[in-house]
Amino acid sequence: MKYAFNVIFYNLFGAGAGLAVGAYLGHLHQLWVIIPVVLAGVFLIAAIITTTMIVKMERAAKNAGVSLKRKDIILQAGQEYTVAKRSKIRPGEYQVMSTDENDKSFNLRINDYVKEYKHNTTVVLAEGDTISPRSANVILR
């Protein structure tokens, strides 16, 4: 919704600015019809280009890749990890995320079962469980 309001605002502003500048210049040169229409079109096109660039930049910032936090655990694909109180992975509840922002889902083996998980899925690991990423590297948070 925010993007729609940006598009409407910048496009209306561009067209209005073009009409205002065009009307002023048209009045000075006695071309009161042609110049405002041409400049309104030019300003409208500039506003559309500007709006498109702003929306793309906002979406890129919003969809930035996964960032690591201090206590995140990275699990490499193909390696098996055991959950224990005194190991790298302790019993508890974790969110599983792919390290590649293009992978929306990945395969993960917990104990004997391989299952497809989606990005930001919550899993509960108990003492003695084994976990092994199969298709991609995974972050436990």
The parent domain of residue 35 ranges over 2-62
Residues 48 and 96 in one domain: no
Residue 63 vs residues 60, 91, 95, 120, 138: alpha-carbon distances, Å: 5, 31, 18, 14, 18
Residues 47 and 10 in one domain: yes
Residue 124 structure tokens: 């509960």
Residues 33 and 92 in one domain: no
Task: Give the pLDDT of residue 55.
Answer: 73
Task: Give the pLDDT of residue 124.
Answer: 94
Residues 6+ apart with CB under 8 A from 84: 90, 91, 127, 128
Residues 27 and 78 in one domain: no
Residues 52 and 82 in one domain: no
Q: Which residues of the chain are modeled with pLDDT < 70? A: 1-15, 18-19, 22-37, 39, 60-66
Total number of domains in the chain: 2
With tokens 């990423």, the residue in question is 133
Burial class of residue 62, CB neighbours in 10 A (0-12, 13-18, 19+): exposed
Task: Give the pLDDT of residue 5.
Answer: 66
Q: What span, in angstroms and rounded, lies between the C-alpha atoms of 23 and 40?
A: 9
Residues 37 and 86 in one domain: no
- Structural domain includes residue 83: yes
Residues 78 and 56 in one domain: no
Q: Which pTM value belongs to this model?
A: 0.53
With tokens 């925010």, the residue in question is 2
